Chains A and B, each alone.
Chain A
């Protein structure tokens, strides 16, 4: 059993990449594989509260975040210097400083990027 990091870097609304990365995370967790998430770049939009996308804009992937704990996905990392507004950002994230962020990628035997 290998600990997997799924790195989301794509916008949740510009392609299916973010959704398919989350799908993989949930399947790994369903099969009791340890998995953590980290978000950067356009994928940070996933964290914004009160999203209400239309059908054309895509599924509301933000809603999945509150369910992550039920899959035992407890770690969702971001870089600390992102200046996200805590009032409008999902609270389940763990900010890492630059050194921790860069070191993180070598802690995992497998990193998949979406």
Chain B
């Protein structure tokens, strides 16, 4: 069984990103190939903001997700429209919008909703965290 995680809850107003993190750790520890990809949509894309600086005595959610991507080779997709609207800009999007900075954290990638459709059609289930 392979799953897609679809995360829509804001990292600051819900526990969606936290709960999904616990879920994916448990899933990958037990079944290393059980997660094909993680798609962040709505305010959940804020997880990919490399300039966010949480207080040092709190979890750095962005780093935690980056560790998952590094250790388990799980792609972390942010919806490009939702992300750009919220100021999460990759280097290439930065050039396109003629900006002089970019904010997308490493190990996250901007993709269209078509990528979610592909994940939906190639995994057994999609689990939403909101």
Contact = CB atoms under 8 A, between A and B. Distances in A.
A110 interface: yes
A31 B42 contact: no
Interface string B103-116: 00000000011101
A38 to B, nearest CB: 15
Given A27-B113, A27-B117, A113 B130 contact: yes
B6 interface: yes
Contacts of B43: 16
Interface string A17-48: 10010011001100101000000000000000
B121 A112 contact: no
Interface of B: 6, 8, 41-43, 81-82, 85, 112-114, 116-117, 120-121, 125-126, 128, 130
A114 B112 CA distance: 18
B41 A20 contact: yes
Given A2-B121, A27-B117, A31-B117, 4 more contacts: A27-B113, A27-B116, A112-B126, A113-B128
A4 to B, nearest CB: 8
Given A20-B82, A23-B81, A114 B42 contact: yes
Interface in A91-114: 109-110, 112-114
Query: On chain A, which size bracket covers the interface?
Result: 10 to 19
Nearest to B82: A20
A109 B123 CA distance: 12
A36 to B, nearest CB: 15
Nearest to B118: A31
Contacts of B116: 24, 27
A16 B128 contact: no
Nearest to B6: A112
Contact of B117 (A17, A20, A33, A112): A33
B120 A110 contact: yes
Interface in A56-114: 109-110, 112-114
Contacts of B121: 1-2, 33
Contacts of B42: 16-17, 20, 114
Nearest to A28: B117
Contact of B41 (A2, A4, A24, A31): A24
